[in-house]
Amino acid sequence: MRRPLSQDQHTLAGAYALHSLAPSEAVRFEDHLAGCDSCRQEVRGFSETAARLAAATARTPPEGLRERVLADVARTRQLAPAPERLPEPRRRWGWGFGLVLAACLAVVVALGAVAADQVRQVRELRENEQRIAAVLSAPDAAYTTAEPMEGVTVSLVYSESEGRLVFSSNGLADPEDEDYQLWLTRDDGSVTSAGVLSIDASGVAEPLLAGVAEGRDSGVAVTLEPEGGSERPTSDPLMAMPLES
């Protein structure tokens, strides 16, 4: 069910970028957009984030899958061509047929496990995208950008009603044998890991979704950590931003 158009049209930038407004609502918001520079910037940011989300769904089959399947097929004994006149059926299957059947079943089971794993990965990606879209289109979504260093921009979208935030960045170089790690910070100085950033060759980080403890987490920070991340920060923050609601 679609929400009615809010009187505060500034809150509809995320929903408009995701094409979740009714046609009449979209027309009215576009009228507002023509005279609101801040909303135009927010729509541009949301649209770029949504485009990165779409790219994140693309996945290639596991490396070596084709070679493994062909190798299994090559090792599987094939049945000889059937004679013109079939012999009388026997009561017992020969050992050869049993081995062939076992090999075929092994291949089917292996391929089934790979397919099931791929289905699970796709389902998890879609669920993650839906949660991110819910944050971006929430009525109370607060969108913040910063430039912590030259050539680097970061974006933070926080929704108190959803209890989550979405963090993304552009311009960070992918470090060798290290990872950029996002932390949720608190006023008492404690931190909680929100995960490591996945950065492509162009320096764009996939949007990272993190749950926020209301009344406890007050901001985010990014540090450079050993590959895979750390339980606690091992370096000074490269940047920090407060959560704005």
Is the pLDDT reported for residue 186 higher than 70?
yes
- Determine the pLDDT at residue 4: 41
The mean-pLDDT minimum among 20-24, 76-80, 117-121, 129-133 falls in 117-121
Which residues does residue 196 pair with via DSSP β-bridges, in sequence order?
181
pLDDT for 214-226, tens place per residue?
888 888 999 999 9
Single-letter code of the amino acid located at 237: P
Domain ranges of the chain: 9-58, 142-242
Q: What's the rounded mean pLDDT across residues 142-169?
A: 88
- Determine the pLDDT at residue 59: 54
Is the pLDDT reported for residue 111 higher than 60?
no
Cα 167 from Cα 175, distance rounded (Å): 19
- CATH number for the 142-242 domain, one of 2.60.40, 2.40.10, 2.30.230, 3.30.1490? 2.60.40
Is the pLDDT reported for residue 112 higher than 60?
no
Q: What percent of the chain has pLDDT over 90?
A: 16
pLDDT for 113-139, tens place per residue?
555 555 555 566 677 778 888 888 888
Cα 30 from Cα 16, distance rounded (Å): 9
Number of other CB atoms surrounding residue 220 within 10 Å: 26
Is the pLDDT reported for residue 210 higher than 70?
yes
- Determine the pLDDT at residue 7: 45
The mean-pLDDT minimum among 122-126, 167-171, 174-178, 185-189 falls in 122-126
- Determine the pLDDT at residue 95: 54
**195: region left, alpha or beta (phi > 0 left; psi from -120 to 50 alpha):** left
Please tell me which residue, 59 or 39, carries the higher pLDDT value: 39
Please tell me which residue, 153 or 53, carries the higher pLDDT value: 153
pTM score over 0.75: no
Number of other CB atoms surrounding residue 84 within 10 Å: 5
Cα 72 from Cα 84, distance rounded (Å): 30
Is the pLDDT reported for residue 23 higher than 70?
yes
Please tell me which residue, 26 or 169, carries the higher pLDDT value: 169
